Structure 1
Amino acid sequence: MVYQAAENRYESMKYNRSGRSGLQLPAVSLGLWHNFGGVDSFENGRAMLRKAFDLGITHFDLANNYGPPAGSAEEMFGQVLKKDFAPYRDEMVISTKAGYYMWPGPYGDWGSRKYLISSLDQSLKRMGLDYVDIFYSHRPDPNTPLEETMAALDAVVRQGKALYVGISNYSAEQTAQAIEILNSLGTPLLINQPDYSMFNRWIEDGLQDVLEENGVGSIVFSPLEQGLLTNKYLTGIPADSRAAKPTGFLQENEITPEVVARVQKLNELAAERGQSLSQMALAWVLRGGKVTSVLIGASKVSQIEENVAALNNLEFTHDELKRIDKILK
């Protein structure tokens, strides 16, 4: 059947302006880091992308190395774009990144002008696009001058290959430097993509201040700590969980009795709020309006539906926030 987007797709999603730019992003965005690669079910990924757009998720976040294998998430998204989303391209914000290893030799990794522009050219081919909406430097390169990396971002905007630029995994100090360089080039930084969650609050120590002072947005990844801030690990480690896999980022030895006890207490508070733990964790990240958008991952349609429903209750009382801080300490 020919896909037709839900007519009510914009009625319940919340959209936030990215810093002082003109671009608004959905409060919940979909990341294609896992479960959209060549080793995964195409039809399941396609169903998740369709459901996300039907729920008002207009922003799809990719990178050159997403898969596995590397590049296959962009290829998969390109197929869905061609089959289903072509009429809706101008309603979407599509982002990709370069900064991690992609091909052998000295030009397939890190942050040189050579690598970044070559990688974006490859990403556009894989997705069948003339341009992406946001192109990121995926990580700072300690061996390449920041001026060169930022000049490459400026160049792809001037070449018409990207509308906006972003950075990911940059510290507060590195972000301030990147902002200054990009401003001098005439291509302001749109957004920073750091990791952030209840269990990982490093951006509160300086980075959020830098972004707010300079009118730059933020979109955060791993808000559920690789599934730790869900009901998955309340009573043990399921065999199909990331923690049970030797190649997963969340390791079994990280799920200590102390961590589980904290998760259980957070789950109790979430239930009092009429939310699942994952919904409360997403709402907490979005509290106060400092975060523009939160990136979710998903392996099935129902997870996307549950996560978007977090927007039904984004408010926290002072006592709830104090309880959360006490649990986390």
Structure 2
Amino acid sequence: VSAGYVTGAIFVLAISSYYLLKHKHIAFARRSFAIAASFGLAATLSVIVLGDESGYELGDVQKVKLAAVEAEYETHPAPAAFTLFGIPNDEEEKMDFAIQIPWAMGIIATRSLDEEVMGIKDLKEIHRVRILSGVQAQKQLEKVKDGTATPAELEMFERNKDDLGYALLLEPFTDDITQPTPEALEKAVDYSIPPVAPLFYSFRLMVVAGFLMLALFIAAFYYSTKHRITQPRWLLKAAVWSLPLPWIACEAGWFVAEYGRQPWSIAEVLPVHTAVSNLSVSDVVTTLVAYTLFYATMFVIGFYLMKKYAKKGPVPPEDDNKLDDAIGLGTQGANA
């Protein structure tokens, strides 16, 4: 919801700035600029607070996604540093050219200075154990289903049944998940971690876009309170060019949320490769093409209408100019 508020505020700020740059609808643009600046600043701060809470939740319940987003290959001593930028090296499982802020990740993810943020290597070892546990549960499951399980086997199944989903990670790499080869096990362990680089860069793209919008709203709010909206033309131009930022941030955030849960459709229960439907390829292609054409058409129509009415403005130009002159905010006043 807060991200939607930010998107709306940026849109209003950009259109208002466009009017001010073109010396059109100045009275209206001044008011809408000031409202968008104050509302957008509050909404952006709300998004940052909620994002911080999301980071804490990741550290608690989605450790794999957090490790991948931060490219944390090693479990470093607490408190962990936050990597501003670097180049993830999956082959050697390390971060190249890392620029870090000490302690920041530990505070964000654990709210403490003494709790570790688990790295990818340690998570893989945990997954290895759970895959093998799931294999044992899968073996016992067959006996449970046909009613031949002994009390000891039932007890073993109850002990390992929570790891059945991990055994399913072996399916792409072996024909019999109850008899995995060492090679299949290694591939399943690697498969249990989402690709690091796309998540690492997408998250930082989202954060950069978010803080650019925060800086824009702070500047816009400052000049609004000083009644100097029309003076810094760089700010007006920046507001216009910032129009795509909320969409970029939202798409990057969506990518992190969805791609970061791979390989699971239901975490630790149902892998994506097992969750496929029974639809034919032609059905899927037809549906995908239909949705793509529909939403592309809606986008073109929406873009055309927004552009048309943004240029037209809120009221006829002659009425707006009269209002500008009445309150002393005409073109000459704006240029003063």
RCO comparison, higher one (Cα < 8 Å, 6+): 2
Q: TM-score range by the shorter chain?
A: under 0.3
Q: Which has the higher helix share?
A: 2
- State the structure with more CA Rg: 2
Q: TM-score, normalised by structure 2?
A: 0.22
Q: TM-score, normalised by structure 1?
A: 0.22
